[in-house]
Amino acid sequence: METEYASAVRVPESTLQRYRRFSLYNSPYPAHDRGCAIDLYPATNDGISPVAGEVLETRTVRAPSKPYGHDEEYLILVDVDWERSGLGSAAATGSESGRDHLVARILHVQPRVSAGDRVAVGDSLGQMVRSGFFAPWVANHVHLGFRRSEQHLHRAGESLLVVPDVDVVPVPWDGVGTVVETGPTYARLDAPPHPAPGDRFAGIAGRCTSQDGETTVGEATPVDSERSVLDGGFTHYACGGILTRERERNETATSDTGETISFLDHTVGDVSGRNVTWRDIDVVANDDRITGLSLFAGIGPEFGTKLVCPDGEFQEGQQVRVTIRDSDDPIRLG
């Protein structure tokens, strides 16, 4: 049986390891619907290319006016060299012709390349920019999506599904940590710790339960790579996702199976394949409601949990306990 994942583009582990973390769902914009784009966070502000091929076009558009944001946004279109990009077999684009005419859409990089230039994976495309499309707590990153060449290449939606072709280690967390970094709109905790910094991608684990009450994806141990990792803006963006290869292998991966997912001993979302619709809940830190959590897969030592808290006043060294509660008025930013 052919599933929606048969037309997905698989980004190889060798490419993902060039970045310190990635997320499919931590965005409210249509390009990320159902995990149809991936955000890649380099260690520096150099916007390194996640694909190889020939630059077809660069485009500049106006961005919303924000005091922290760049006034312009940029689009780089690359005619993908399938083999040099390491993306896998032709089946991943659904047809043999698709293999030769896959176009990558790259955003948030001020281009130092031009149409006709050839790039390799890891080449610099230019410096990353924070445009007015960003929320203030979002770090600079390279946005990557894929289209077949016959599709509309400029509109935000209708990209192919993206699959990170890597096992992400699920890390259980009890909700407690110490603040190790703060910014005007966020605080980062030291917990949970990464089980193997610099070696494997890891993320915070959840627990999936089927309609009959059977646990299908548990609060995993750090060595269990087949269980769930939560991804996305929790829960300030309405939808998030689960990072696990098992979801792509399952023939019912895009159907509604009636599963729910829990986190910190609270049911937090309804699952359809790898997609999660967050329930009406609040994220609470030390008894105060915050905007939410930024969840992702990370490989570096700067792991832990990122609290999104534009109105919070957390201090380095402060201990924080995060809990979840039902809400009649949840924060929803997109």
In a domain, 332, yes or no: no
Q: Nearest to residue 181, comparing CAs of 14, 315, 7?
A: 315
In a domain, 334, yes or no: no
CA distance 54 to 114: 9
* Amino acid 294: pLDDT: 97
Name the percent of the chain in helix, strand, coil, to the closest 5.
Answer: 10, 40, 50
3-state secondary structure of 98: helix
**Span of 18-27, 92-101, 228-237 with lowest mean pLDDT:** 92-101
Q: Are residues 142 and 186 in the same domain?
A: no
Q: Are residues 202 and 310 in the same domain?
A: yes
CA distance 235 to 290: 10
The domain boundary, picked from 139, 165, 191, lies at: 165
Q: Are residues 116 and 181 in the same domain?
A: no
CA distance 22 to 231: 9
Q: Are residues 184 and 130 in the same domain?
A: no
- Specify the CATH number for the domain of residue 52: 2.70.70
Q: Are residues 32 and 179 in the same domain?
A: no
* Amino acid 247: pLDDT: 56
CA distance 79 to 162: 17
In a domain, 174, yes or no: yes
Q: Model pTM? A: 0.90
CA distance 230 to 207: 9
> In this model, does residue 292 exceed pLDDT 60?
yes
* Amino acid 240: pLDDT: 96
Q: Are residues 19 and 58 in the same domain?
A: yes
In a domain, 59, yes or no: yes
* Amino acid 68: pLDDT: 84
Q: Are residues 160 and 173 in the same domain?
A: no
Q: Are residues 158 and 256 in the same domain?
A: no
Q: Determine the structural domain holding residue 101 and report its residue range.
A: 4-165
Q: Are residues 147 and 178 in the same domain?
A: no
The domain boundary, picked from 128, 148, 165, lies at: 165
For residues 293 and 323, is the Cβ–Cβ distance under 8 A? no
Q: Is the dihedral of CA 3, 6, 9, 12 positive or negative?
A: positive
In a domain, 288, yes or no: yes
User: Which pLDDT band holds residue 251 (cuts at 50, 70, 90)?
Assistant: very low
User: Which pLDDT band holds residue 48 (cuts at 50, 70, 90)?
Assistant: very high
**Number of domains, the chain:** 2
In a domain, 104, yes or no: yes
Q: Are residues 209 and 313 in the same domain?
A: yes
In a domain, 216, yes or no: yes
User: Which pLDDT band holds residue 154 (cuts at 50, 70, 90)?
Assistant: confident
Q: Are residues 150 and 194 in the same domain?
A: no
* Amino acid 303: pLDDT: 92
Q: Taking all residues of the chain, what is their mean pLDDT, rounded to a whole number? A: 87
Q: Are residues 202 and 298 in the same domain?
A: yes
The domain boundary, picked from 165, 181, 214, lies at: 165
CA distance 111 to 123: 12
Q: Nearest to residue 300, comparing CAs of 42, 15, 40, 20?
A: 20
In a domain, 210, yes or no: yes
* Amino acid 213: pLDDT: 56
Q: Which residues contact 192 (CB under 8 A, 6 or more apart)?
A: 171, 172, 173, 177, 204, 303, 304, 305
